[in-house]
Chain A
Amino acid sequence: MAEAIMRVEGLSKKFGPFTALNGIDFEVYRGEVHALLGDNGAGKSTLIKILSGVHKPTSGKIMIEGKEVEFSSPRDASKAGIGTVYQDLALNPLMSVTRNFFMGREISRGPKPFSWLAMDQMAHITHDEMVKIGIDISDPSQAVGTMSGGQRQTLAIARAIHFGARVLILDEPTSALGQKQQMEVLKTMQRVRLRGDIAIIFITHNEVHAKLVADRFTFLALGEVIGRGTRADLVGEDIRHLMAGGVDIGDLQKELEAVRSNRTAAAS
């Protein structure tokens, strides 16, 4: 097996008396999608905030290509090649696609900050980077507000990759989107995966989506890893079982049935 691009060992995070994460180990490889699953409150958000340099871990280490790294700010993490696409995408709806793509990192000539923007060059790069991962926007000068949710997600991903992300962290990219848009995003992820040089960490609580694109799975519950494996290792029922934090929800249908019959009984 090739060397992991990023490896996390014994990562723990305490907020005062509260243990948010406890001894997390996992690793991601180039050209793979690593799904990070868990219910609300499992510690997914804390973990990605540590990986993207927002929080510092209480103990444990993060290694990139075998070298231990320490992030004191999100800027450090992005310099080390970790690109995080948060749920809000950090896009500005009133501004054009190109202006969003290069926001804060404009290509310009002359003394800053009054340097002259190379608008045409930036528009070309934006268009090309978006086409590479599957969306041909008709006009890079259109406002982001006119784009669909899936297109916006793609824009944010293309931007992270263009600015040097080798590990791409996607924070619930498919939630809050319609069915078709979700498929668009999954297709985009697949294209990024096929490039072969980028590792994707896919945070989700949708096991169907995870099964569709992920090569490797890590399940979190109450701040600890409760299961992991490759796609081959896991069968469908395992995934659902682990998603729920190890509790059986197989009898959901029966429980719902029970609620309904109780109500009918009370009514009659």
Chain B
Amino acid sequence: MSQTNPVALGRKEADRFNKGGRLRVLLRRAEVGAFFVMVAVVVAIAIASNGVAFNALGLKNNLSIISQFGIIATGACLLMIAGEFDLSIGSMIGFAGMAMAMMLKWGLPFGLGSATPATAFFVTLAMTLALGWLIGFIVVRSRLSSFIVTLAFLFFLRGLTEVCFRLINQSTQISGLPDYKQDSWFAAMFGGQSFGWLYDLWFALGGNLNRSGEQWVTGFDARVVWWLLIAAAAGLLMARTQAGNWIYATGDNRESARANGVPVEKVRISLFMLTAFCSTIFAACQVFDTNTADAAKGNLKELEAVAIAVVGGTLMTGGFGTVLGVVFGAVTFGLVANAVFFIPAIDGSYYRVFVGVVLLTAVFLNESVRKRITGGI
């Protein structure tokens, strides 16, 4: 008889899974890696900028870029969880911005008269959603990789944007549009301010002062609200609704999801429409904030959206990731992108160096977290 271990014989299969205590459960959450990277970056930038990055103006400027990133990264994250990619986000932003500004300057298409901010926005949204549907439809029907299909749309939409600008506008940019946000609540919803009360309160408590002792900053950009709304809606969708379960199932293993009755085609097409929606919101905030549009707007934003989703713990091959992680990722990425403005000692060209380092660090951390959760897959 060979040697046996009496302890091992009494064990059951279920005993091998150590559930652990409360802290262990918290540390097994998918966004824990992204959270620690975010904390590290916040602390590092606060120290390096001597607190300037988080004073009244620094906070506003940082949150402005964080919410820009956050809006598109949320869409990209959900699409990635479903196992697909969208490289057309940047070009879609350019296209949507062009369409809105062009309508505001030259009137609605087909001679429907002059445009208001609302009509310009909704006509544009209808077009971008249709484009998102078309991209999804092509991906689903052709069974081509979404990487290739959306790469084609990256070129196609950017080209189309330039062509429209040159044909109709004779110039690749529009500037000097009226400041719609002053008297249109609809435009102010995108280009105006938000959380004014927070800065009022800050002022009332004795902070937020400029050099002459008056209130310095009056509020965040309106896009902060859009980011929070989109992230909250997407977070609840993924964690708590049937659609969320379908999205995870579609990205994890499409065939088994299909076999269990998940409408994987509809899920994927809807998510391509979601990224188009997020791009349109991004563009609307930009157009109504600055009253300009440019054929180059949104350039490279698709890669930044993917990078943020990955920093936030979303798995490139689908089936895993959380919206909360992407919120952390957007904060990290936005702060790093803006860091050069707040740290006088370093040159602006360091931006991408930081981004690369943070991206790789976050991915290593997220991989080890994910392997602990999913049993090494």
Contacts and interface: CB of A to CB of B under 8 A. Distances in A.
Contacts of B260: 90, 103-105
Interface in B329-377: 373-377
Interface in A60-75: 74-75
Given A135-B14, A138-B14, A139-B17, A90 B256 contact: yes
B17 A112 contact: no
A95 B249 contact: yes
Contacts of B19: 138-139, 142
B242 interface: yes
Interface in B252-289: 252-253, 255-257, 259-262
A119 interface: yes
Nearest to A151: B13
A135 B16 CA distance: 13
Given A113-B246, A142-B17, A104 B257 contact: yes
A91 B319 CA distance: 12
A104 B247 CA distance: 11
Given A90-B260, A94-B319, A117 B248 contact: no
B375 A146 contact: yes
A113 B243 contact: yes
A92 B257 CA distance: 8
Nearest to B246: A113
A139 B245 CA distance: 18
A195 to B, nearest CB: 22
A19 interface: no
A90 B256 CA distance: 4
B249 A184 contact: no
B241 A93 contact: no
B237 interface: yes
Interface of B, helix, strand, loop or mixed by DSSP:
helix
A114 B239 CA distance: 11
Contact of B242 (A108, A146, A147, A184): A108
Nearest to A101: B260
B261 A105 contact: yes
B204 to A, nearest CB: 40
A145 B371 CA distance: 10
Interface string A213-238: 00000000000000000000000000
Nearest to A90: B256
A174 B161 CA distance: 58
Nearest to B244: A117
Contacts of B246: 104, 113
Interface residues on A, range: 35 or more
A114 B375 contact: no
Contacts of B226: none
A116 B243 CA distance: 9
Contacts of A106: 242, 245
B257 A93 contact: no
A88 B374 CA distance: 18
A99 interface: yes
Nearest to B233: A114
A99 B314 CA distance: 18
A31 interface: no
B374 A93 contact: yes
Contact of B248 (A92, A116, A119, A145): A92
B374 A145 contact: yes
A136 B374 contact: no
Given A150-B13, A184-B13, A94 B374 contact: yes
Nearest to A143: B374
Nearest to B251: A94
Contacts of B249: 92, 95, 99, 103-104
A158 to B, nearest CB: 14
B240 interface: yes
Interface of A: 74-75, 86, 88-95, 99, 102-106, 108, 112-117, 119, 135-139, 142-143, 145-148, 150-151, 184
Given A92-B253, A94-B320, 8 more contacts: A90-B255, A92-B249, A95-B252, A106-B242, A116-B240, A117-B240, A137-B17, A145-B376
